[in-house]
Structure 1
Amino acid sequence: MAKIYLSHNNIVSAYGFHTQAAITNIKNEVSSLQLLEDKRILPHPFYASRIDQNQLLEEYHKLSPKEAHTRLEQMLLVSLSDTLSKANIELTERVGLIISTTKGNIDVLEERNPFPEERAYLGTLGTKIQEFFGFKNKAIVLSNACVSGVLGVAAAKRFIQQGTYDHVFVVGGDLVTQFILSGFNAFQALSEEPCRPYCKTRTGINIGEVAASVLVTKDSQKTIPESVEVIGEASCNDANHISGPSRTGEGLYKSIKVALEHSGHSAEVIDYISAHGTATAFNDEMEAIAFNRAGLEKTPLNSLKGYFGHTLGASGLLETIIGMYSLHQNTLFASKGFQELGVSMPLNIIQKTVSKNCNTFLKTASGFGGCNTAVIFQKLQEY
Structure 2
Amino acid sequence: MDFEEIKKEIEAFVKEELFSLEPWILNIEWEKKLPKLNELREKVKSKGLWLPQISKEYGGLGLTNAEHGEVSEILGASPYGHYCFNCQAPDAGNMEILIEFGTDEQKEIYLYPLLKGEIRSCFAMTEPDHAGSNPIKMGTIASKENGNYVIKGHKWFTSGFDGASFAIVMLVSDPNGSDPHKKASQVIVPTSSQGLEFVRNVSIMGHPGGGWESHAEIKFHDVKVPLTNVLGADGEGFTIAQKRLGPGRIHHCMRWIGMCERAFDLMCERAVSREISEGVMLGEKQTIQNWISECRAEINASRLLVQDAANKIDTLGAYKTRSEISIIKFYCAQVLQKVVDCAIQVHGAKGVTDDTILASYYRHERAARIYDGADEVHKSRLARSILKKYKLDYK
Do they superpose with TM above 0.5?
no
> TM-score, length-normalised on structure 2?
0.23
Give the helix-richer structure, 1 or 2: 2
> TM-score, length-normalised on structure 1?
0.24
Give the strand-richer structure, 1 or 2: 1
Higher relative contact order (CA 8 A, sep 6+): 1
Max Rg structure: 2
